[in-house]
Amino acid sequence: MQTDLVYWILFAHLPRWTTLKTNKLIVEILHNQKITFEEFFNLSHDDWKQIYKLEDKEISDLETARKELPNYSFLLEDMLSQGYELIPFNSSDYPRILKDNLKLKFAPPLLYIKGNKSLLHDDTIAIVGSRKADNISLEFTKNIAINATKKYQCVVSGGAKGVDQTALDESIKANGHSILVLPQGILTASSLMKKYYKHIIEGNLLVLSTFFPKAPWSTGLAMGRNKYIYGLSKEIYVAQSDSKGGTWSGVLEGLKANRLIYIRNPNKDEKNANDLLILKGGKAVDINGNLLETDKTDEISLDEKIKNSIATGGTIKQGFEDSGMFENMTVQMIAAGEESGSLVLMLQKVSNYYLEKYRYIVDNIAVLIEPILIAAIAGFVMTLALGIFLPMWNMMSLFRP
């Protein structure tokens, strides 16, 4: 088993390989060909090409990675001695919800954890939002975390400042269950391990990472771990979102995948993109997470949508695009104007375009409705003629022998 885990580390961190490519190869080896990783590496390069359809570059990547096996073996021993666990994709401990939500395309082949791994199979929710969340968003986060604890739900968060940190801390205060998804390798999070040691030991907190164990924190990893937070969660609550960044992109991806996402209904004076996310299909909820029956399409005018987009760091183009009222060509013209510094000129061209389109419709409206008028007049004349001739035909039939 320990030898297998060394190979799992190798496959999980193949440089320049997408998750989908890695997972497909793993499935082919273990499930379709029904051999071990060790047996796979004992095959010839010709076998790799013929059976697994690998190209020369991919074979070179695998051979380079194979040279790291001794280092991975030492790394594994060190991790196991410190109480860390590794959960490969084919393990019964691997969370089903992560496979269902992320599929082969994004589901990480290997999880590094410390803590109560049974939490991976709890009923889970995620509470996400901005690092610079305002007080009302943090109050919402607190309410949702406490309610989740009462419902025996496990709160999934990323541990970042703002909403993430509040979600984790409030869940812990309420003696609830939490999963902390790291934006770094699990071996580089020693300060977090010390901070939450008591809760890890008590079984109320699970710390999880999908990245190479010694990988330091980085913006890229922080953005990358967002999909795992969403993937581990059955329901997603959004406290506050800008019109760009990790929360925004994560919610949009979730909505495209028909995920159940609840958005805090913002006050009119708030400068965030929550309204826009509700317009895009998120479910509006109040400060306590209760579902609201609101139609944001009727509430928000076009100018308000554009103001919201700009106020939250977005662009005029994004405001027009989010409104859903304009053709793609118009949106692209506005984007080109913003990027080139000739927005006024481009807006004039857009105005001229719609003016010409309006004039064309007005000038040709007679031509468009002429067939309809002819058909209506013909129907009227036919009805009138039948009204005259039908009685005459009936009277003539009376005089026939």
Q: In a structure prediction context, what are the per-residue pLDDT tens digits for the chain, which is 401 residues long? A: 677 999 999 999 999 999 999 999 999 999 999 999 999 999 999 999 999 999 999 999 999 999 999 999 999 999 999 999 999 999 999 999 999 999 999 999 999 999 999 999 999 999 999 888 899 999 999 999 999 999 999 999 998 889 999 999 999 999 999 999 999 999 999 999 999 999 999 999 999 999 999 999 998 998 889 999 999 999 999 999 988 888 888 898 888 888 989 999 998 888 888 988 998 889 999 999 999 875 554 455 556 666 666 666 667 777 777 666 677 777 788 888 888 878 778 878 878 877 787 777 777 777 777 788 888 898 888 888 888 877 777 777 666 55
pLDDT, position 243: 82
Q: How many helices (H) and strands (E) does the chain have?
A: 21, 9
- For residue 41, give both structure tokens: 């590496």
Q: How far apart are CA 171 and CA 165, in angstroms?
A: 10
Q: How far apart are CA 301 and CA 305, in angstroms?
A: 6
Q: How far apart are CA 254 and CA 373, in angstroms?
A: 50
Contacts 24+ apart (CB under 8 A), 168-172: 170/141, 170/142, 170/145, 170/146, 171/145, 172/196, 172/199, 172/204, 172/205
Do 276 and 305 meet the contact criterion of CB atoms below 8 Å apart? yes
3 state DSSP class of 234? coil
pLDDT, position 326: 73
Q: How far apart are CA 88 and CA 367, in angstroms?
A: 68
Give backbone dihedrals phi and psi of 293, rounded to 5 degrees, phi first. Answer: -95, 85
Instruction: For the chain, give the number of residues.
Output: 401
117-302 carries CATH number 3.40.50.450: yes
Residues 6+ apart with CB under 8 A from 177: 116, 119, 122, 149, 152, 153, 154, 155, 171, 204, 205
pLDDT, position 1: 60
Do 182 and 114 meet the contact criterion of CB atoms below 8 Å apart? no
Do 149 and 122 meet the contact criterion of CB atoms below 8 Å apart? no
Do 289 and 310 meet the contact criterion of CB atoms below 8 Å apart? no
Burial class (CB in 10 A: 0-12, 13-18, 19+), 188: middle
Q: Where are the domains of the chain?
A: 2-84, 117-302
State the pTM of this model.
Answer: 0.74
Do 105 and 78 meet the contact criterion of CB atoms below 8 Å apart? no
Q: How far apart are CA 284 and CA 237, in angstroms?
A: 10
Residue appearing with tokens 């005459």: 392
φ/ψ bin of 53: left (φ > 0), alpha (ψ from -120 to 50), beta (otherwise): left
pLDDT, position 340: 81
The alpha-helical segments, DSSP class H, found in 67-195 are 69-81, 96-106, 135-150, 163-173, 190-195
pLDDT, position 297: 47
Do 233 and 157 meet the contact criterion of CB atoms below 8 Å apart? no
Q: How far is CA 177 from CA 146, 157, 196, 208, 251, in A?
A: 11, 11, 13, 14, 23
pLDDT, position 50: 94
